[in-house]
C-alpha cells in the first residue's frame, strides 16, 4: 500500500490540518502518517490558541518514520516559526525525498496573516527548494509576490514568479476570486487553467489542506503532476458538495462522501 506523511498542525475540530490530511489520504487509498507541528484550540467558529511542538520533537517524528517506513509522498502544512521551518528542512534534507507538496499556510481565508515576514523568508529559503509543488491561495500568492492578484492573467504571472522563488511547480488556488472557481497550474513550461462552477456551500473548512493532501495522495499513487492536481480538484469539489453542517461556524467538507454513498449512507451516521 502507498503511504503519505503530513507535517502540519492539529485541528481540534477535525476539519483541517493533520485530521483533514489523514482523512484525505485514507479516502484516496493511501495510508496516512503525521508529524504534528502544533496543537490548536479551535472549533468551527475560530482559532482560540496555538501551542507549537518543539522543533526537536517534530524532527524526531519525521526522522523515525523515514527510518522505518517507505514514504511515497510528503505534504507540508502549518510550520509557523523559523525554528520549526529549519527543523523540517534539515530532517527532509537528510532523506531520499518522495514528491513533496507544500501548502504555505501564511494567510487565512479571511486574509489574516499567520506568518510574519521573517518566517515567510525562511519558508521560501528552506522549504521551497524541497517542494515538488507549492499550493498558495490568492492571499498567500499576494504575500509571496508583493502585489494584488485580481484576474486569471495575474494568477499566471504570480505562478511564474513563485516558481522562480525555488518551487518545482505551482498551483495558485483561485477560490477567493469572484465567479467560477479557477485554479492556475504551472509546471515550469505551460499554464493550465482548471475551471469549474463554484459550489455554493458554507461548509468549506479545511479545503486548502484537503486539496494539497489530495495532490500528495495521487502523486504517491503514481499519477503525473497535472493528473494529480485534476483528480485532487475533483475530489475537493465532491467533498464541498457534500459538506457537513457541523457546529455553529464554517462546517467541514465531507472527506468520505464517496465511501458513504457506496455504503448507502445518506448523511453522517444515518442510513
Whether residue 112 lies in the annotated active site = no
Between strands 191-196 and 169-172, the pairing is: unpaired
Which is catalytic among the residues 44, 156, 209, 243? 209
Residue with cell 524532527: 59
Which is catalytic among the residues 9, 206, 243, 251? 206
- Cα gap 115→254, rounded to integer Å: 28
Which is catalytic among the residues 24, 135, 207, 210? 207
* Cβ–Cβ under 8 Å, residues 3 and 69: yes
What is the strand order of the sheet 181-186 is part of? 47-52, 31-42, 3-10, 74-76, 100-102, 133-134, 169-172, 181-186, 191-196
What is the grid cell recorded at 43? 472549533
Which is catalytic among the residues 173, 230, 233, 243? 173
Whether residue 270 lies in the annotated active site = no
Backbone dihedral angles phi then psi of residue 141, each to the nearest 5 degrees = -65, -40
Which is catalytic among the residues 37, 204, 210, 253? 204
The DSSP H or E segment spanning 133 is strand 133-134
Whether residue 208 lies in the annotated active site = yes
* Cβ–Cβ under 8 Å, residues 183 and 233: yes
- Cα gap 103→106, rounded to integer Å: 9
Cα end-to-end span (Å), the chain: 30
- Cα gap 62→58, rounded to integer Å: 6
Whether residue 209 lies in the annotated active site = yes
Which is catalytic among the residues 9, 208, 243, 251? 208
Q: Which residues are bridge partners to 31 per DSSP?
A: 3
What is the grid cell recorded at 163? 516558481
Q: Catalytic residue numbers?
A: 173, 204, 206-209
Amino acid at each position: 500500500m502507498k503511504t503519505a506523511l503530513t507535517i502540519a498542525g492539529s485541528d481540534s475540530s477535525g476539519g483541517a490540518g493533520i485530521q483533514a490530511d489523514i482523512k484525505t489520504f485514507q479516502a484516496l487509498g493511501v495510508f496516512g502518517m503525521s508529524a504534528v507541528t502544533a496543537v490548536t484550540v479551535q472549533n468551527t467558529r475560530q482559532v482560540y490558541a496555538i501551542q507549537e511542538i518543539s522543533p526537536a520533537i517534530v524532527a524526531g517524528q519525521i526522522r523515525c518514520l523515514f527510518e522505518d517506513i517507505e514514504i511515497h509522498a510528503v505534504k507540508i502544512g502549518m510550520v509557523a516559526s523559523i525554528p520549526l521551518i529549519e527543523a523540517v528542512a534539515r530532517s527532509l534534507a537528510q532523506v531520499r525525498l518522495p514528491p513533496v507538496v507544500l501548502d504555505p499556510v501564511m494567510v487565512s481565508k479571511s486574509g489574516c496573516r499567520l506568518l510574519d515576514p521573517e518566517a515567510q523568508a525562511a519558508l521560501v529559503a528552506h522549504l521551497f527548494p524541497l517542494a515538488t509543488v507549492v499550493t498558495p491561495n490568492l492571499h498567500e500568492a499576494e504575500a509571496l509576490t508583493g502585489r494584488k492578484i485580481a484576474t486569471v492573467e495575474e494568477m499566471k504571472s504570480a505562478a511564474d514568479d513563485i516558481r522562480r522563488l525555488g518551487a518545482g511547480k505551482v498551483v495558485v488556488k483561485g477560490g477567493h476570486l469572484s465567479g467560477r472557481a479557477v485554479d492556475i497550474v504551472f509546471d515550469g513550461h505551460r499554464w493550465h487553467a482548471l475551471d469549474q462552477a463554484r459550489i455554493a456551500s458554507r461548509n468549506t473548512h479545511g479545503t486548502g489542506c484537503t486539496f494539497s493532501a489530495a495532490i500528495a495522495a495521487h502523486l504517491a499513487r503514481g499519477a503525473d503532476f497535472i493528473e494529480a492536481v485534476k483528480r485532487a480538484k475533483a475530489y475537493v469539489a465532491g467533498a464541498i458538495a457534500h459538506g457537513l453542517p457541523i457546529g455553529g461556524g464554517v462546517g467541514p467538507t465531507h472527506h468520505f462522501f464517496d465511501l458513504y454513498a457506496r455504503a448507502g449512507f445518506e448523511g453522517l451516521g444515518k442510513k
